[in-house]
Amino acid sequence: MSSLSVSEAEKKTMSNVDSSPAVKVQDVSITYRTTFERVPTFKSAIVRFGRGERAVREVKAVQNVSFDVPHGSTIGIIGANGAGKSTLMRAIAGILPPTSGRIEVHGRVSTLLSLGVGFNAQLSGKENVVLGGLAAGLTRKQVQERYEEIEAFAELGEGFMEMPMRTYSSGMFARVAFAVAVHMDPDILLIDEALSAGDAKFKTKAADKMKELVTNSRTMFLVSHAMSSVRELCNDCIWIDKGKVMMRGEPKEVIDAYTHFLKVGAAEAVSLEDL
């Protein structure tokens, strides 16, 4: 590193890409097994005194997925409902262990998965910010130092940070969740549909903040159905379908292939945004 000339170092910073991967996903499969009571017919339910038959349903949500994500990338993860995007994000976040395969994560991860997971709705916004910060590994002092910035970023309005989060609208919830996630100093930020709940003004602000994080060489995963966000913010893209990687590459090309696959064509794809 020290032997690099200034111009080479600058180039490296501009390209935002470090040679070792921030995330390495190797042949990962994730299967959910759900047991449930099956009551086949009304008659047999009566015969069985209301007890159903125990059945197991397996869903192969992610199947043999492998990819590397270099430091400084902003990678969009796209695909239809139920494709396995959130499952993959939960595995990268370390919330859900893969059924098989291996995931390496190099750096500190901050997640914004399914908005505000981990928040306690009975507690105030302020209390949740503190808990979120401590859970992310910050010291109490560091949380206190960042609190004002987080509060200012969330812009909830007078007094709302002191109110229990159950009294918040989903957009307000999203604002706090986003503000916390981006102020945790993450090396790797996982964002799952975060922008969908905020209003237009907050979406712009959130997008600017994400661009700033990426400029500072952070790695970001953006799971989204909003193709415009992926096109605007990402420099890399993975399309997942039925738990498998269909395509990886330039966001524009991957989005084109995906929208073509959905048989809507590129023109209608714009009106599909923000679904």
Ligand X SMILES: Nc1ncnc2c1ncn2[C@@H]1O[C@H](COP(=O)(O)OP(=O)(O)OP(=O)(O)O)[C@@H](O)[C@H]1O
Measured from the CB atom, is 61 or 222 closer to ligand X? 61
User: Min. distance of Cβ 65 from ligand X in angstroms?
Assistant: 12
Q: DSSP assignment of 194-236, as one string?
A: GGGSS-HHHHHHHHHHHHHHHHTT-EEEEE-S-HHHHHHH-SE
User: Min. distance of Cβ 147 from ligand X in angstroms?
Assistant: 31
Q: Do residues 254 and 234 make contact, with C-beta atoms less than 8 angstroms apart? A: no
Point out which span in 78-86, 153-161, 183-191, 208-216 binds ligand X (CB under 6 A).
Answer: 78-86
Q: Do residues 71 and 20 make contact, with C-beta atoms less than 8 angstroms apart? A: yes
User: Min. distance of Cβ 27 from ligand X in angstroms?
Assistant: 18
Q: Can you point out the beta strands (E) in 4-113? A: 21-38, 53-70, 74-78, 100-105, 109-112
* CA-angle at 176, arms to 174 and 177, nearest 5°: 65
59 interacts with ligand X by CB under 6 A: yes
208-217: string of b/e by CB count within 10 Å (b at 16+)?
ebbeebbeeb
User: Min. distance of Cβ 61 from ligand X in angstroms?
Assistant: 3
Measured from the CB atom, is 33 or 201 closer to ligand X? 33
Binder of ligand X out of 72, 79, 186, 251 (CB under 6 A)? 79
User: Min. distance of Cβ 9 from ligand X in angstroms?
Assistant: 39
87 interacts with ligand X by CB under 6 A: yes
Binder of ligand X out of 34, 35, 41, 271 (CB under 6 A)? 34
Q: Which residues contact 53 (CB under 8 A, 6 or more apart)?
A: 37, 38, 39, 40
Sign of the alpha-carbon dihedral angle for 133, 138, 141, 142 = negative
197 interacts with ligand X by CB under 6 A: no
Q: How many residues bind ligand X (CB under 6 A)?
A: 12
Measured from the CB atom, is 76 or 133 closer to ligand X? 76
User: Min. distance of Cβ 8 from ligand X in angstroms?
Assistant: 40
User: Min. distance of Cβ 77 from ligand X in angstroms?
Assistant: 8
Binder of ligand X out of 23, 25, 61, 75 (CB under 6 A)? 61
Q: DSSP assignment of 61-89, as one string?
A: EEEEEEEEEETT-EEEEE--TTSSHHHHH
DSSP H or E run through 266: helix 265-272
Sign of the alpha-carbon dihedral angle for 167, 164, 119, 204 = positive
146 interacts with ligand X by CB under 6 A: no
35 interacts with ligand X by CB under 6 A: no
36 interacts with ligand X by CB under 6 A: no
Chain contacts with ligand X (rule: CB under 6 A) = 32, 34, 59, 61, 79, 81-87
